[in-house]
Structure 1
Amino acid sequence: MDLLVTTAEQRPDLVPLLGDFHDWPSFMNEDPVAPLYFDDLEEAFPGYVLIGIDRNRPDRLVAKGYSVPFTWDRDPDESLPAGGWDEVILTATRDRLAGRRGTLVSALEISVRPDLRGTGLSSVMLAEMRRNAADRGHTSLVAPVRPNAKHRHPGVSIVDYANLRRDDGLPVDPWLRVHARAGGRIAGTAVRAMTIAGTLAEWRAWTGLPFDATGPVEVPGALVPVHCDVEHDHAVYCEPCVWVHHRLM
């Protein structure tokens, strides 16, 4: 494959390809914070949106990477936002409105075309995201990582899961392992990286599950159970993340 990785800033004509495929469970499209970033990709942070195509098939998206600069005045090795993914987007939006340049870059998502997963493209896109951040003068890339095998263990706490290691010392989780091999260091966890709340009717529509009993509900694709309250007609999902810090210089 003759891979071209560019940015939305350099190639705005390729932005429409970003909708070719989606990686997350459908209920995650209901996060109320996400549109602050994703609804304005061409104007808000185009230099931090990576687009990967095969030069021989330029009409087809191969991989994509979303990142964003945000202000954080603490040492990322010691502390990162407790609000994870959502807090990064909210902070970046406030920075943009105030005319501030963020001090850190946060990864938000890296996705690879389904038929090309397992070919090493996720590592390539992470390397390109690191390079892009460094080229823009940033010394750190952080990532509120959504561990891609955590959904198989919804009852395990995010702290315990992040600490699981193979015999070679690398994380058990495949996506955390990609970050570790690229030089990233696990810097902590957050238990509310993304919060999605809705009525029981909404959750039934989003998941196809009955949501008819108060208590934890295991939803396919969710990293932890969704908390259902029948009496008060709502359910809330607090998705955790694992914070990873990549020093770039």
Structure 2
Amino acid sequence: MYEVVLLRHGETLGYDGDHGLTPRGEEQARARGKALAAEIAPGARVLMPHARTSRATATAVTLRAALVAEGVDESLLGELYAEPHVDNLRFSLDGEVVDTSVAVSARLALPDGHDDDWVREYDRFDSDYREVAAAGGPIEFWVRNPTLYFEPPQLGALRLWLGIETLGSRLRDAGAALALVCTHSAPMRAFAATTFGVDLGEPENLEPIRVRVGEGVDAGTARVDYRDRTVTTRIPTPPAWFDRAWLDSYGR
């Protein structure tokens, strides 16, 4: 059995590019690190993968430092490493798969009146890239509306499941049973919606979703805890209409 704790990044300086954390975001990461440190048994090894954006990376760095400050043995904390399976929501920009922050930068660089299909779709997703984005409005649109250029919500959820499944062997090889994963609200929200069968809204900064793999009748089951809800489920297999080879090789 192993546990994966999915954590949304801390408050960021903005969504109009690939930005880091605000002072409040850093404090959110330190507070979560303090809480998690109290749960980690003495001598337990921990892995710390994270998404590849600046805000997810900064959250992981601050979280790790907070764990050490709270007395967790630094030698037992695995080095931080980027894991594409837990990346942010992705976008197809001129046929290339990019992080949504890259698409924001490309959109803002265009002159007024530009009306390519992807531009119109992105403007429906978000228009100010700050207040609306911070409140999670664009993610709610993404979860509930069909789009052509955004990664589908169910694919974002499958990416997290594949990342969780992949962590099983990494944890075993490291002699660990816990992974703390700094990721993003979009895949987390889709993951929760597909797991519980209802959209539970936007995860707060550093809010956890806990996944305990192998706690059921066999290794293919997982217990998922989020807010006041718990469900035990089979780890999903990607349906035939998703290319498993592409999912497994993306970004590597």
**Larger relative helix fraction:** 2
TM-score by length of 2: 0.28
Query: Per chain length, whose mean CA-contact separation is higher, i.e. which structure has more relative contact order (CA < 8 Å, sep 6+)?
Result: 2
Q: Determine which structure has the larger strand proportion and give its number.
A: 1
Calculate the TM-score normalised by the size of structure 1: 0.29
